[in-house]
Structure 1
């Protein structure tokens, strides 16, 4: 699929007058274009390839990805990204092989490579084009069963209100699911989005905490052991525990709130290069600092278990057949953000926590009490409206919401709210643009009121 128009090519070749920018500004402008191209390549690849993996959800159009995933993004990249020329390259069997995005006349395109069953990964800036026709012969589709709404009434009205501006001007919902006692009471979707996976963004951090719990249950690790950071035993970072990494309390420096990891997410660097080596600034366990790198450190601490117990195996046990945990180009899981899942699959994750880590067939896959562990504010706490547990946010300060409510939160409006005292799971998916915020506390309160 070629989309290298004359107008787009003109944009690509245009250069800002050197006299109007300093050397650093020119460098930053070029870097932003490289990041924007990586962002676009990865989003197009993941959105299209992961949707096509679902039998019954035939494809995502490039126009749809531009409308949803590539609109309202980071302010430095948003003005650049839509006009960058791109090509979707398919293998002989029709599957997406890779996506390439042009960004500079003197450099190779940015590439995102699709690996069967493993989603997409962005390659380093300057990398060569991926090889084609290297696909395994086994089936690549997954059976798709959608959750259906149980009807109308106050609950359905509350769910539909999520698709208006009632909970945030400019917010854009794509799906709402409400489970009560394990049964689907409401399943509402934006037209055409039913069954489509979306990037979970930081909901992946809660998935990461869940995978850590599975490793604890198997006896492979203890959350109070070292996360393995630092050069050796003489390095004070070696004292940082997996628990402290899950609780965003490693004490390490991060250069921005949230520790934006653009070089990893869009630039083609690896987890090992970007996440592990940040210096210590506070004593571990004393200061809360929300950071992608802390979750990545916790995941790296259990990386050795993934060969025998990959995330895909865990998702299959839960029936999360349309969830893909993607990696960097060297195979390290980017479980701070880079997971693609349907709303239905995230509802199953929430239900696992209501069941305290036990599957419907009675098989325990998380330690007894893991729900209490992840929802306990035992570490240093953030300022603001929400507390923090171990990989999950706490809604214990939200008016009208039961104090045991905890949730997975993700960028652009991804939410999985778990209310144990009401046996309720609420999933809200969105593509909220920068500057718009969906009021998940008010929505949770209204959904619960509609259930009374």
Structure 2
């Protein structure tokens, strides 16, 4: 009997090991989608070469994607069709580019049949160029050295890779630097900085009377009698306290980001596990859901797809910003936005001016205070090692004296080191872009050093 058990155990171990070596088609599809999406966006949005993309956008990616990524064949770029295709064992993945909207991933197994069904934006930029940002570049040695330190891959964190730094004081650029291969016209993926851009679009919609943040999100899929998700408000979503379940950490929504999945199939279908507003849980799905709620209220898909451009990007002169969507026309504005350091600075200026731009109101009066006010439910503010973590407002992170920064400081933050830091008390903006790995860039220390340099 023991002999039979031993044989059975050995058989299970043997077949389990063999099974572990077999490629997982679902995982390969995600990794191929990652390569197709990033190659498409970096090439057609930013004009980057395949070699540059391999060195940055496809370097130091999610650890669980790295081995499969190295085994994939080269991406096939079709310059005429503006598509990128990546094959893998069992299939292929494709992403297609459009003006203003960047790249959308097509559903797996569809080939290019969905390209004609993708949303498009009309020529919104056919008008005089917006005035440039004011420049008053400083020759202060301490400020210059602090900026340079951000690029040395050590001062503010091992494994950091800075591509851009821009500092504004009193409405003017006082410092600006780019890594080789990047300049003021080079857009880069924002990752979760996009969430703060989404909050800006929602703010414009509030000002226009399209939505009210204290009302239920009102999604059709939640409208059945007795569905508790019907009680989730737009404010709950902005505060990351919807109460909906989400993957660990809430920021791995791979089926939408890399799998060609639709927002309506993956972001709004989760079940409720906590009372809305009672529990903070960082979730890409909450941001995608609040944008979906705006779409359902507008009831006109073309007006919806153009709304962020006409109401936010166009007035601010954000000419190098791409708001990417899924193939169903829903913005993936939790992460998939490509923009420049200068365009992010324009967003920051809008908030420093309490939603006013060139004498016109873009956001409701007080919206800047609203996004920077602590939400009722907060993330853990202190780690076991004593590190002071930022709080959370409405799609912005909150800093203050415990981080060595003035109270009232708030920031848009994204994976791999994307930051827009807004310091109202000092009339200062700090933009930092990167391709970080490891522990990440110490934005609080860097911002404190920038402020110290500006004081001298």
Q: Give the structure-1-normalised TM-score.
A: 0.87
Q: Contact conserved, 1:248 with 1:289, CA < 8 A, in 2?
A: yes
What is the distance in 2 between the residues matched to 1:376 and 1:431? 29
Match of 1:285 among 268, 277, 283: 277
Instruction: Identify unmatched segments of 5+ residues in structure 1.
Output: 1-17, 52-58
Instruction: Give the 3-state SS of the residue equivalent to 1:302 in structure 2.
Output: helix
Match of 1:110 among 78, 87, 93: 93
Cα offsets for 1:216-241 (capped at 9, x unmatched): 00111100011124242421111110
Cα offsets for 1:340-383 (capped at 9, x unmatched): 00111001101110000000x21011000001100000320100
Aligned pairs (5 A) from 1:231-380? 231-303=223-295, 304-305=297-298, 307-308=302-303, 310-313=307-310, 314-359=312-357, 361-380=358-377
Residues 431, 160 of structure 1: CA spacing in aligned structure 2 closer, same or farther, 3 A cutoff? same
Cα offsets for 1:283-318 (capped at 9, x unmatched): 111110000011111111111446435222221111
Instruction: Give the 3-state SS of the residue equivalent to 2:52 in structure 1.
Output: helix
Residue aligning to 1:121: 104
Instruction: Give the 3-state SS of the residue equivalent to 1:443 in structure 2.
Output: helix
Residue aligning to 2:214: 224
User: How far off its partner does 1:447 sit?
Assistant: 0.6
Residues 137, 201 of structure 1: CA spacing in aligned structure 2 closer, same or farther, 3 A cutoff? closer
Cα offsets for 1:117-162 (capped at 9, x unmatched): 3210111221213589999997999979688644342112111111
User: How far off its partner does 1:83 sit?
Assistant: 4.0
Residues 137, 233 of structure 1: CA spacing in aligned structure 2 closer, same or farther, 3 A cutoff? closer
**What is the aligned residue count?**
421
Q: Does 1:99 align with 2:81?
A: no
Cα offsets for 1:175-224 (capped at 9, x unmatched): 00000011000011101211210110000100011111000001111000
What is the distance in 2 between the residues matched to 1:97 and 1:381? 43
User: How far off its partner does 1:80 sit?
Assistant: 2.1
Q: Contact conserved, 2:96 with 2:115, CA < 8 A, in 1?
A: no
User: How far off its partner does 1:86 sit?
Assistant: 3.0
- The structure where helix makes up a greater share of residues is 2
Q: Contact conserved, 1:358 with 1:364, CA < 8 A, in 2?
A: yes
What is the distance in 2 between the residues matched to 1:240 and 1:391? 16
Q: Contact conserved, 2:166 with 2:431, CA < 8 A, in 1?
A: yes
Match of 2:448 among 438, 445, 449: 445
Instruction: Give the 3-state SS of the residue equivalent to 2:31 in structure 1.
Output: helix
Residue aligning to 1:11: none
Match of 1:170 among 159, 176, 185: 159
What is the distance in 1 between the residues matched to 2:395 and 2:232? 16
Instruction: Give the 3-state SS of the residue equivalent to 1:102 in structure 2.
Output: strand
Residue aligning to 1:77: 65
User: How far off its partner does 1:31 sit?
Assistant: 2.1
Q: Contact conserved, 2:125 with 2:319, CA < 8 A, in 1?
A: no
Q: Does 1:35 align with 2:30?
A: yes
Residues 136, 82 of structure 1: CA spacing in aligned structure 2 closer, same or farther, 3 A cutoff? same
Q: Contact conserved, 1:312 with 1:324, CA < 8 A, in 2?
A: no
Residues 30, 341 of structure 1: CA spacing in aligned structure 2 closer, same or farther, 3 A cutoff? same
Residues 132, 419 of structure 1: CA spacing in aligned structure 2 closer, same or farther, 3 A cutoff? closer
Residue aligning to 1:394: 398
What is the distance in 2 between the residues matched to 1:266 and 1:324? 17
Cα offsets for 1:89-133 (capped at 9, x unmatched): 3354xxx610001111x32x1101112332101112212135899
RMSD: 2.6
What is the distance in 2 between the residues matched to 1:131 and 1:291? 28
Residue aligning to 1:8: none
What is the distance in 1 between the residues matched to 2:105 and 2:82? 12
Residue aligning to 1:414: 418
